[in-house]
Amino acid sequence: MRSVWHPCTQMKHHELLPLVPVASAKGAWLTDFEGNRILDAISSWWVNLLGHGNPRINAAVAAQLEKLEHVMLAGFTHEPVVRLSERLAELAPGKMGHCFYGSDGASAIEIALKMSFHYWRNAGRSGKTGFIALENSYHGETLGALSVTDVPLFRDTYAPLLGNCARVPSPDARRAAPGESAHDFAMRCARALEVHLEKHANETAAFIVEPLVQCAGGMAMYHEAYLTEARALCDRFEVHLIADEIAVGFGRTGTLFACEQAGIAPDFLCLSKGISGGYLPLSVVMTTDNVFDAFYDDKLARGFLHSHSYTGNPLACSAALAVLDILEEDQMIGRNRNTAARINLEVGRLRNHKRVANFRQRGMIWAFDVPDAGPDFARDFFSRSIAAGVLLRPLGNTVYWMPPYVIEKSEISLLAKTLEDLLNNAATTGGKA
C-alpha cells in the first residue's frame, strides 16, 4: 500500500478503509479482482462521460496507436491535434479559434492565468497582475490554480506560496435570503463583482469562474444570469473572463458547454476531464484572435513560452475526437434529458427525505446536503456505498452523483435505492453518519 501515495487522501485512513483494487471496467461498472461489481456513479472523478471500455473510443485509440503514439508539438504537428482544434473551434461559443494544449485541468488553469497576465504585459498594461475568483471556488491544486481556489482544506497549508487573488461572493443559490429568487441573488452577487471592479480593474488581469456549478466546492449551483452579467462587466472594465469548464463541459450541465446557457463566450475556455472520455490525460485552453494576436511577433519573449512534454498527444486527441463523434452521432445531449428525467423520477422521494436539504440538479449533475452529518460523514458514506455496490464520494456533507451518460434504467434504480438506504441507515450528529 505504501508504494503508491494516493491523491486527495490521508494515507493513514487506509489502515481501516481498504483500497478498492479494480481489475476491469465496462460501461457504468467497475469490477474488482474477486468479481464484485461497483456502479461508478461519479464517472471516476467526472471523466468517464461515455462509460468505461467504450468500443468506439477503444477503436479510435487503437487505430492511432498503429500510426503515431506521440511527437513533440514544438516545431511539429500531427493530424489528430489539427482535427481536434478545428472541431472544437466549430463547437465552442463565440470565435475561439486558437487551442493551447496541456495534460490536465490544473495545467489548463495555469495556462489561462499565465496567458492572461502575459497578454496585458504585451499590451503595455503591466499593472494588471491580479485575479478574481468566486468564494468557495476550486480550480486545481498546482500553485497558480490553487491561488484562485478558495477551499481551505487544499489552500491554507500553501497560502505563503500563492499569488494575488481577490474573492467575490458566490452566487450559490443556497445562499439566497429567504424569499429571494436564484436570479435575484445572482444579480446581487454580480453587483458585488461590479463594486470590486470599480476599485480594482486597473490591477486585475482576469476573473475566473466555474460556469453554473462550482463542483468541488460542494456542487454549488447558480442562475445563468450571473454569467451574462459577469461577461458584460468584464467587457466594461477591460478584464478577461476565464471559464473553467473542466468539470462542466461536454454536456454535463445540459448543453455542450455551460456558457451557452448564458449566451456568452469567455476570453479563455478551459477544458479537460470528459474531453477524452476518461481515457488519457488531455486539456486545452481555447482563446480568441485578440489574445492570439497579442503574442504574434518577431520577438521570442513576446511569445507564449509554456510547454508540457505530452502536449496535444495524438492518442489523447484521437480519444477526444471519438468522444465528440459519439456526442454528435448519438445525439447524446438530447438523450441525457430523457436520462435525467428518469433519474429525477427514481430519486423523487429523496427531495422530501427528512435528512435531505437543498436537493438540486443541473443537467447530469445531482446533489443534496445532509445538515445533521457527523464529522466522519463523507468517509463513512463512501465506505458504505462501496459495500452496497455503488461508488459515491461525498464532498463534506454534500452527497452528489454525476453518472456516465450511458447509465441504464436498472442501474438508475440501484443508485436510487442505495442512496435512500444509506440515508435511512446512517447515524446522526455526534457519531458516524
Given a cut of 70, whether residue 414 has pLDDT beyond it is yes
Given a cut of 70, whether residue 182 has pLDDT beyond it is yes
Pairing of strands 204-209, 240-244: parallel
DSSP H or E run through 268: strand 268-271
In 117-226 the beta strands, taken as DSSP E runs, fall at: 130-134, 165-168, 204-209, 213-214, 220-221
pLDDT score for 17: 79
Average pLDDT of span 77-106: 97
pLDDT score for 426: 64
The pLDDT-based confidence of 430 (bands split at 50, 70, 90) is very low
- pLDDT (tens digit, 9 = 90+) per residue, 251-284? 999 999 999 999 999 999 999 999 999 999 999 9
Give the chain's mean pLDDT.
Answer: 95
pLDDT score for 82: 98
Given a cut of 90, whether residue 331 has pLDDT beyond it is yes
Residue 8: count other Cβ atoms within 10 Å of its Cβ: 10
Given a cut of 70, whether residue 219 has pLDDT beyond it is yes
Fold of 58-329: Aspartate Aminotransferase; domain 2 (3.40.640)
The rounded distance, in Å, linking the Cα atoms of 80 and 242 is 26
Given a cut of 80, whether residue 149 has pLDDT beyond it is yes
The pLDDT-based confidence of 1 (bands split at 50, 70, 90) is low
pLDDT score for 267: 98
User: In this structure, what are the phi and psi dihedrals at residue 166, rounded to the nearest 5 degrees?
Assistant: -95, 155
19-28: long-range contacts at Cβ-Cβ below 8 A with a sequence spacing of 24 or more? Answer: 20/386, 24/53, 25/52, 25/53, 26/51, 26/52, 26/53, 27/51, 27/52, 27/53, 27/404, 27/406, 27/408, 28/52, 28/403, 28/404, 28/406, 28/407, 28/408, 28/411
The pLDDT-based confidence of 427 (bands split at 50, 70, 90) is low
Average pLDDT of span 21-43: 97
Residue 18: left (phi > 0), alpha (psi -120 to 50), or beta?
A: beta
pLDDT score for 6: 83
Average pLDDT of span 333-353: 96
pLDDT score for 432: 35
The rounded distance, in Å, linking the Cα atoms of 218 and 170 is 12
Cα–chain center distance at 169: 20
Q: How many residues does the chain have?
A: 433
Residue boundaries of the structural domains of the chain: 23-47+331-371+379-425, 58-329
- pLDDT (tens digit, 9 = 90+) per residue, 368-410? 999 999 888 999 999 999 999 999 999 999 999 999 999 999 9
pLDDT score for 2: 81
- pLDDT (tens digit, 9 = 90+) per residue, 305-322? 999 999 999 999 999 999
Which residues have CB under 8 Å from 251's CB, separation 6+?
49, 274, 327, 332, 333, 336, 363, 364, 405
**26, β-bridge pairs:** 29
Decide if 23-47+331-371+379-425 and 58-329 have a common fold. no
Residue type at position 179: G
Three-state DSSP at 246 gives coil
Average pLDDT of span 145-150: 96
Given a cut of 90, whether residue 15 has pLDDT beyond it is no
Average pLDDT of span 114-141: 97
Residue 171: count other Cβ atoms within 10 Å of its Cβ: 32
pTM: 0.96
Given a cut of 60, whether residue 52 has pLDDT beyond it is yes
The pLDDT-based confidence of 9 (bands split at 50, 70, 90) is confident
| DSSP one-letter string for 174-195 | GGSPTT--HHHHHHHHHHHHHH
Give me the percent of the chain exceeding a pLDDT of 90: 92
| DSSP one-letter string for 44-59 | HHHT-TT-BT-HHHHH
Cα–chain center distance at 222: 15
pLDDT score for 200: 98
The correct answer on CATH 3.60.150.10 for the domain covering 23-47+331-371+379-425 is: no
pLDDT score for 406: 98
Torsion of CA 423, 393, 395, 273, to 10 degrees: -140
pLDDT score for 429: 42
Lookup: cell for 417: 435505492
Average pLDDT of span 214-225: 97
